[in-house]
Amino acid sequence: MAAVTKPVIESTRARQRSGIRPQTIRLTILYVVTIVLALLFMFPLFWALMSGLKTPQEMYAFPPVIIPKVMRPTNFIDAFTAFPFALWYRNTLEVVVLATLGTVASASLVAYGFARFDFRFKNVIFMLTLATMMLPSQVSLIPRYILFHDFGWIDTLYPLWVPAWFGGSAFAIFLMRQFFLTLPRELDEAALIDGAGYFRIFWNILAPLCKPALATLAILTLIANWDSFLDPVIFLQSQEHFTVAIGIWYFKQQEFQVTPTDQLLMASAVTSIIPPIALFFSFQRYFVQGIVLSGLKE
């Protein structure tokens, strides 16, 4: 009896084990792959941070040192004072804040127009608006340079934020319009019957409901402007008007000719990463939503 049941039990166990196994193996592989990839993606940022904390000796040691023996957080202060970074951060902040305010304010009004009003050529204008998303910025760069030159705006911060007050961008308008379309029209109609004007409907009824979309747009605009390089590199000329991005580029060029201070360059690069990352962590939900919304063209 025992001799007969034993193999039976064993075979069920084997079956159970083999029934679990492929699933477990699959999950293990998935976790290992995901964790390794996550570490690989984070490594450059980690390496930059560690490099920013090194002494010059460790910076140029061969073979390279990954984690410095003595951390030198003072590098971050040294980098900040080696060049007028305080001024450059102030300039960047000015551009980023004004451009974001302009984009949020004007894009939401324009989007309100596209979402709620019928007027002649609306669809044509809207299609043209979407088409501008596919234009490379290089093609308008030269005339814009000439235009801003005629305005006397070269080597000022104006070219970097004033255009944002004219509707922001096609993307901004599109994002806000999509959001307005999700709000029921009955809201407007009820308010209209109660005697509210179109601007009051926008300001008192729709805008408060749009807060998530406005936050999303604000964050995406902040980060895009923080990252901006091509426009500032063309429109700014003197050190005192640089943004952080141009400042780091300038630092890198100087550094190449004078003394090697790569650890300070790394420290300044790492510092410039902090604001977008901080924004991302504070508003992660809006952020992900916004990007996803941009991909759901219907």
Partner 1 sequence: MQTGMSNPQIVTPGRPLLARLVGGQTRQGARKALVGYLLISPWLIGLLVFVAGPILASLYLSLTSYDMLSPPRFVGLANYHKAFFEDPLFWPSLGRTFYFAIVFVPLSLVGALLLAMLLNQGLIGTNIFRTAFFLPSLTPSVALSVLWLWLLHPQLGAANQVLRLVGLGSFPWLTDSSTVIPSIIFISLATSTGGGSMLIFLAGLQGVPKELEEAATVDGAGRWTKFRHVTLPMITPTLFFNLILGVISALQVFTVAFVATNGGPDYGSWFIALHIYQQAFAYLRLGYGATLAWIFLLVVLLLTMLNFASSRKWVFYRGGS
The window from 9-17, 26-34, 75-83, 178-186 that contacts partner 1 (CB under 8 A) reads: 26-34
| 56 contacts partner 1 (rule: CB under 8 A) | no
For partner 1, the binding residue among 23, 138, 238, 259 (CB under 8 A) is: 138
- State both tokens at 207: 């805008």
Number of neighbouring beta carbons within 10 Å of residue 83: 20
For partner 1, the binding residue among 1, 3, 136, 186 (CB under 8 A) is: 136
Nearest to partner 1 of 56, 209 (CB atom): 56
**Shortest CB 83 distance to partner 1, Å:** 13
Q: How many residues bind to partner 1 according to rule CB under 8 A?
A: 95
Residues 92-131 that bind partner 1 (CB under 8 A): 106-107, 109-110, 112-114, 116-122, 125, 128-129
| 57 contacts partner 1 (rule: CB under 8 A) | no
Q: What sign does the dihedral 279-280-285-286 (CA atoms) show?
A: positive
For partner 1, the binding residue among 74, 140, 239, 282 (CB under 8 A) is: 140
**Shortest CB 260 distance to partner 1, Å:** 10
Contact 103, 169 (CB under 8 A): yes
Contact pattern for partner 1 over residues 60 through 99, marking x by CB under 8 A = xxxxx-x---------------------------------
| 32 contacts partner 1 (rule: CB under 8 A) | no
Residues 178-237 that bind partner 1 (CB under 8 A): 198, 223, 226-227, 229-230, 233-234
| 38 contacts partner 1 (rule: CB under 8 A) | yes
Residue that the structure tokens 């091509």 belong to: 230
Residue 63: asked if its preceding bond is cis (omega within 30°), the reply is yes
| 152 contacts partner 1 (rule: CB under 8 A) | no
| 42 contacts partner 1 (rule: CB under 8 A) | yes
